[in-house]
Chain A
Amino acid sequence: MQSTRWNALLVTMPPFAWITLFLFLPYCLLFCYSFWTLGEFQQILHHPTLTNYAHLFTNPLYLTVIFRSLRIAFSVVLLSLLIGYPLAYFLVFHSGRYRHLLYQAVIIPLWVSYLVRAYAWKVIFGNEGVLNTLLLWSHAVNHPLSFLLYSPFAVIVTLTHIYVPFVVLPVVASLEKIPRELLESSSDLGARPWQTFLRVILPLSLPGVISGATLAFLLSFGDFLAPLLLGGPSSVMIANIVANLFGADYNWPLGAAVAVVILIIVVTILSITQRLERRQRFA
C-alpha cells in the first residue's frame, strides 16, 4: 500500500514539476508583471496599477492589431480547411495504393524548417520573384504585382501553406474512423453520394475538423515569423507587438498585459472548441 503510493508519487512528480516550473510559474510571473509599470529610467516599478490595461484598451493600435490577427488567423483556417478537407477526403477514400505516398507528402513539409518555407514564399512573391517573372514573361501583367509580398496576403498564404498539414492530419484521422458500413448503409438506404457526404461523412468528421481548425487558428493567431518576414506595416500581428514590447521597447509590464489578453482570448477559444468537439463525439 505504502509502496504503491510512493510509486504513484514518483510517476506524477516529473510532469507536475514540469507544469509548475515551465507553465504555472511563468504565467503567474507574467500576470504579476502586467500590473507593474515603468519608471522614469525604464526601471520596473512594483506598484500594482491597471494603467497597462487601460492603455491597451484605449490605444487603438493594440485593438486594431488584435482584430487583424484574429482576422488573419480566421482566413488561414478557412483556407486551410478548403484545401485540407478535400485533400484529407481524397487521401482516405480515393487514393488507393498511393495513399501512403500521399500521406508522406503531407507530412514531409513538416520536417522542413518553418523559416525555409517562409523564405520560399519570399522567393516566389518578390518583385523579381518566380511568380512575377512568370506573369511578366507571359504578358499577363505589365508591371510586377506589388501586393504579393509585404502584405496580409503574403502572410495568409504562407501561414496556410504551413498549417494545412495540421488540418489534414486530424481530419484524416476522423475520416478513417468512420466505419465503411455506415457509408454502404447510407447508399443502401437510397442516399446519393453527395447526400452520404453531407449527412454522414461530414457530421462524423467534425471532431477532426474542429481540432484541426483550432490548431491552425491558435498557431496562426500567435504567429510571429510570417508577418516579420513577409508582412509589411499593414500586416503586423499581435505576437510582433509582444516581441517588440519585451525587446526593443523594453516595456515588460505592457508586454505582459498584452500577453495576458492574448492568453484569455486563446483559452476562451480553446474552451469553446473543446465543448463543440465533445458534443460531436458519438462513438
Chain B
Amino acid sequence: MSSRPAAVEHSIAAPAAEPAFLRIESVGKSFGTQRVLESISLDIQRGEFLTLLGESGSGKTTLLRIVAGFERATAGQILLEGERLDTLPPHRRPIHTVFQSYALFPHMSVFNNVAYGLRVRGCERAEAKSRVEAALAKVRMESFAKHFPRQISGGQKQRVALARALVNRPKVLLLDEPLSALDANLRVEMQRELKVLQQDLGITFLFVTHDQSEALAISDRVVLLHKGKIEQCGTPREIYARPHTAYSATFLGKSNLLRGVVKEGVVDCGIFSLPTQVPDGPTVFSLRPEAIAPASSSEGLVRFQARVLTEQFHGANTLVTLQCAGGVELTARLAAPLRSGESHSFAFRAEDCVPLEDGSQGKG
C-alpha cells in the first residue's frame, strides 16, 4: 500500500476560501528507530467534526497526543488560528481531551472534577459554580454533582469527562476512543448525543476511533490512517463510495476486489467487462456487496450469472457468497434471501465499480 504523495496532498487540501483553523503540517514522529507517523499534513476547519480512523498501530492516537501536547512531534509543526501550537506545553493549549479511560480524578466529586480546569486557572468562585452547573446540565448529570467517580456508571463517567473538558470552552476538543469502553447500545446512543452536542456548541472535534461504522456515522470528515500515513481523507460518503486504495475499500466496510485488465478503455474482469477511464494495464476494482442485486429488467446495468454458495442472515439483509464463472467469488448484500445452490442472474451499476489507485501495482 505505497502512497502517492501528490494524490494524498490533493485530497486533503482545504478549500481556498476558508483559512485552516487547525493546521497539522508535515508532522512526523519516531520512537527511536520506529517511525510512527510519516509527514502528516491536515487542515481542519472551525466547527468541523473530524475523525482519525485506523487500526491499532496506525498512529491515530499518537497524532492526537501530539496535538494535545503529551508527545512531541519529531518533525513538522501545528498551527491553531495561524499561531504555533506545538511549542506550548499541554497546560497552555486551548485544547482539551476526553480520554479513553475518562481519567476522572477519583478523589474528587463529579462537581469538583468538572470545576478542576476553571479552578486551576483561577476562575472566580461564583462564575465557576454556574459554569460547572451549566456544563453538568448539558450532559444531563446535574443530579450527580456530589457523587464520586467510583459511584457512577461508564456512560455517566463519559458524560462527566465530556463536561469537564467542555466547561473550559476549548477551541478544539480531542476525543481518544471515548466510546470504546461502552456497550454496543449505549455507544450508538452516545454517538448521537456527541454529534448533537458538537453541532450545538460549534466546537471543533478531533475524534479518534478504530471503529469504521462509528467514524462513518459521526463525522463530517474521516481521515483514514494506515501505518503512519494518511490513506484517504474525505466525507464519510466520499470515502465509502470512492475508496482510493484496496486498504480503504476493505477497512471501511466489506468490498469485493476485482482484478482485471484494461485495454483501450474497457476493463475485462473475466466475468464481465465494462467501460473505464483507467489507462491500459492490469488493475483492481472495488465493488461494494450492496451494489449487487438480483438482475431485473432495468437497463444500463452490468449483468453476470452466478451460483449462491452460502448465505448469512443479518436481520436487515443477507450476505451471500456468489460463485461466478471461472471460480471468482463475490459477496453480495441482498434485501431478500436466496437459497444456496441456486443459479441467478445478478447486476450492478457500472459506476459502483470503483478503480483503485493502487490496483495497477498488483496489490490488494
Contacts and interface: CB of A to CB of B under 8 A. Distances in A.
Contacts of A283: 106, 150
B90 A184 contact: yes
A188 B68 contact: yes
Interface residues of A, number: 21
Residue with the greatest number of chain A CB neighbours at <10 A, chosen from B116, B148, B165: B116
Interface residues on B, range: 20 to 34
Contacts of A189: 91, 96, 116-117, 120, 164-165, 168
Interface in A201-257: 203-204
Interface string B49-75: 000000000000000000011100000
Given A187-B91, A192-B120, A195-B120, A203 B107 contact: yes
B106 A204 contact: yes
Q: What is the predominant secondary structure among interface residues of chain A facing chain B? A: helix
Contacts of B321: none
B150 to A, nearest CB: 6
A200 B168 contact: no
Contacts of B209: none
A282 B150 contact: yes
Contacts of A182: 103, 105
A185 interface: yes
A231 B219 CA distance: 74
B41 interface: no
B323 interface: no
A15 interface: no
A185 B99 contact: yes
Contacts of A181: 99, 101, 103
A39 interface: no
A77 B143 CA distance: 43
B97 interface: yes
A188 B90 contact: yes
A179 B103 contact: yes
Interface of A: 179, 181-182, 184-193, 195, 199-200, 203-204, 280, 282-283
17 contacts: A182-B103, A184-B68, A184-B103, A189-B91, A189-B164, A190-B120, A190-B121, A191-B91, A191-B120, A195-B120, A199-B116, A200-B105, A204-B107, A282-B106, A282-B107, A282-B148, A282-B150
